[in-house]
Amino acid sequence: MTARLLDFAPAAWQEYQRVRAVEIGSRLRHALERLADDPALVRADPRSGRCLIIEKQLRQAPPVWALPVDGPDGGYWLVVWREIAQVIEIGYLGTARSTQEAAAED
């Protein structure tokens, strides 16, 4: 089996480039390497989950998944992705808002 190609949305690529030199960048790189090597294994991870709200918006698109990555500050980041043939599309890479943060903004 060969590793999949990673195709980043522009904003996801910019965020990855911005954090590459800090601790979360190393953790994200490791997660992306795992994803490219074996997306089925990443999907089977109990922390991974489907992003049904995004799938609903995209309609006939392949399943969209979120892979959480533990941040150094106790929070976590998300890699939102989907697999199309030999390509892994990275649609979002960034911090995950807690439900408390989201409620405070509403």
User: Would you state the structure tokens that stand for residue 68, as one six-digit string?
Assistant: 């959480």
What CA–CA distance (Å, rounded) separates 26 from 35? Answer: 14
What CA–CA distance (Å, rounded) separates 1 from 52? Answer: 28
Domain ranges of the chain: 5-95
What CA–CA distance (Å, rounded) separates 53 from 21? Answer: 32
Q: What is the pLDDT of residues 21-35, one digit of tens each?
A: 999 999 999 999 999
CATH code 1.20.1740 for 5-95: no
Q: What is the pLDDT of residues 15-74, one digit of tens each?
A: 999 999 999 999 999 999 999 999 999 999 999 999 998 888 888 889 999 999 999 888
Q: What is the pLDDT of residues 81-95, one digit of tens each?
A: 999 989 999 999 999
Q: Is 2 left (phi over 0), alpha (psi -120 to 50) or beta?
A: beta
